[in-house]
Structure 1
Amino acid sequence: MQPVVLISGASSGIGMETAHLLAENGYTVYGAARRVERMDALKPYGVKTIGMDVVDDKSMTAAIKHILDNEGRLDILINNAGFGFYGAVEDVSLEDARYQMEVNVLGAARLAQLVLPGMRDRRYGKIINISSIAGKVATPFGGWYHASKFALEGLSDSLRNEVKPFGIDVILIEPGGIKTEWGPIAFDNLEKSSEKSVYKVAVTKFATAFRKTMDKHSDPDVIAKLILKAIEAERPKARYSAGYMAKPTLLMRKLLCDKMLDSLFLQMLK
């Protein structure tokens, strides 16, 4: 029996690559996004597309109901929908900050709430939360994005131990730099939010340094393959990481104290 998978944020990047890969490997895949038309490229691979907005409870509830009505179960949830709203903590409006948390944390949490009853009844399920190395190491001017990913990490750790007795795995994926729409959008927002800011000079230096690395970022299929590996592991790890600078960054977080990390980031702004 083919496992049934729901992937949020499947209209581009990691979500689209993962939907394609899982469909090719025999999974029944539902790709979800706000802009359904952007998932048309997935249809030839057998991916079933569905409209869903992770900040709209009715939309999420309807999407889960649709899948359960058609398939009778949902085995794997991949919480991939997310974005980065960058800017100095002082400059980003609380309205934008709340939206960042709604999309990156609360949307994932609500989808988990919706799928857990069925998973518990079958005593089987996997919830894959796409976090980031930004959930472990925080740079300047990404405070609200980092807050969302740090929160997703903590939420996943708690949830993992709550649902393990019911045969459900909760797995975190921590990508490094990946070639997606995320980077350009995040840093365009950063510069727009800082045009009249006291942080403008430092922001420009930070954004310039980031953009110089973008050609080195890994392709999204690196993370898609990692997700497939995590799903198919008999005893999955709590965390998997891959992508540009993922391993070195996480190792640096383990080895360096806060003062040393702060010094590295401040050097970038000089």
Structure 2
Amino acid sequence: MKKTNKTVIITGTSRGIGFELAQLFANNNFNVLALSRNTNTLEAVNHPNIKTFGVDLSKENEIDTVVDYLTKNNIKLTALIHNAGKLVNKPFTEISQKDFQEVYQVNVFSVALLTQKIIPFLQENSHVVTISSMGGIQGSLKFPGLAAYSSSKGAVITLSELLAEEYKEQKIAFNVLALGAVQTEMLQEAFPGYQAPITPNEMANYIYDFATTGHKFYNGKVLEVSSTTP
């Protein structure tokens, strides 16, 4: 990793939007700390500005390895992007408590835990961006089978709004991007055969621009980034 005052943490970087986003930041002179359970895909890219961490975000001791790295290297962050997500598509009466817990663990509890741990490393005018879904927007079209996923994506929106208020005096901005359909592996697993109009690379470019400039214009906001339904 090179010496720079621009460092970002991105979660869920093994595939899809997160995989593209990590490379985009790295190619734009950021040091990227990439967190995901599977690090093989990004390690194969072998980008000098990307450091991968094999982290299960549900385990506090594994998050602490990232905290230790930040502490030892005296790193201050310019952005934290919560991109990791888990989706279960089952009829409501078939969704188990384990399904609900696993979805909320990744989509809500781990977002809260990682943010708690990272707050001390966020510099003034830093930006915390949480990737949510149109399914979490009150009044938006809902899809049967996504009770756990969509409700968790609504919860994380409220969490971000609250944190924006709590940390505004420290000049840390918290915003949410509620995405529509993007042609990712996760979408294909949930909606087999559906063809989304937006590629992961296109959405990564949008998120990059928002993460690097959006905090100047927004705090505690939810932006709906959707041209279609789902």
Match of 2:78 in 1: 75
One of 149, 168, 172 as aligned partner of 2:172: 168
Aligned CA RMSD, in angstroms, stands at 1.9
Quote the offset at 1:58 in angstroms.
Answer: 0.6
SS of match in other structure, 1:218 = coil
Rounded to whole Å, the distance in 1 between the matches of 2:28 and 2:224 is 21
TM-score (norm 2): 0.88
Alignment of 1:251-270 (within 5 A): none
What is the total number of aligned residue pairs between the two structures?
221
Contact 1:178–1:243, Cα closer than 8 Å, also in 2: no
Compared with structure 1, are the counterparts of its residues 68 and 227 closer, same or farther at alpha carbon in structure 2 (3 Å cutoff)? farther
Is 1:97 aligned to residue 100 of structure 2? yes
Match of 1:228 in 2: 208
Rounded to whole Å, the distance in 2 between the matches of 1:144 and 1:40 is 32
Identical positions, percent: 26
For 2:5, the aligned partner's letter is Q
Contact 1:43–1:49, Cα closer than 8 Å, also in 2: no
- Structure 2 unaligned blocks of 5 or more: none
Match of 2:145 in 1: 141
Quote the offset at 1:108 in angstroms.
Answer: 0.7
Match of 1:159 in 2: 163
- Structure 1 unaligned blocks of 5 or more: 188-210, 250-270
SS of match in other structure, 2:130 = strand
For 1:6, the aligned partner's letter is I
Match of 2:16 in 1: 13
Quote the offset at 1:236 in angstroms.
Answer: 3.3
CA offsets per residue over residues 9-58 of structure 1, 9 Å max, x none?
A: 10111101111111111111111111121322432363111111111111
CA offsets per residue over residues 65-93 of structure 1, 9 Å max, x none?
A: 21332352223111111121111221111
Match of 1:252 in 2: none
CA offsets per residue over residues 198-238 of structure 1, 9 Å max, x none?
A: xxxxxxxxxxxxx45x2233101222122222222262332
Quote the offset at 1:186 in angstroms.
Answer: 2.6
Rounded to whole Å, the distance in 1 between the matches of 2:133 and 2:55 is 23
Rounded to whole Å, the distance in 2 between the matches of 1:235 and 1:145 is 30
Compared with structure 1, are the counterparts of its residues 240 and 41 closer, same or farther at alpha carbon in structure 2 (3 Å cutoff)? farther
Quote the offset at 1:243 in angstroms.
Answer: 4.7
Rounded to whole Å, the distance in 2 between the matches of 1:96 and 1:142 is 11
Compared with structure 1, are the counterparts of its residues 139 and 78 closer, same or farther at alpha carbon in structure 2 (3 Å cutoff)? same
Match of 1:130 in 2: 131
Match of 2:189 in 1: 185
TM-score (norm 1): 0.76
SS of match in other structure, 1:165 = helix
Alignment of 1:48-127 (within 5 A): 48-119=51-122, 122-127=123-128
Q: Between Structure 1 and Structure 2, which shows a larger proportion of strand residues?
A: 2
Q: Between Structure 1 and Structure 2, which shows a larger proportion of helix residues?
A: 1
For 1:13, the aligned partner's letter is G
For 1:87, the aligned partner's letter is K
SS of match in other structure, 2:167 = helix
Compared with structure 1, are the counterparts of its residues 224 and 241 closer, same or farther at alpha carbon in structure 2 (3 Å cutoff)? farther
Rounded to whole Å, the distance in 1 between the matches of 2:120 and 2:74 is 16
Q: Which has the larger radius of gyration?
A: 1
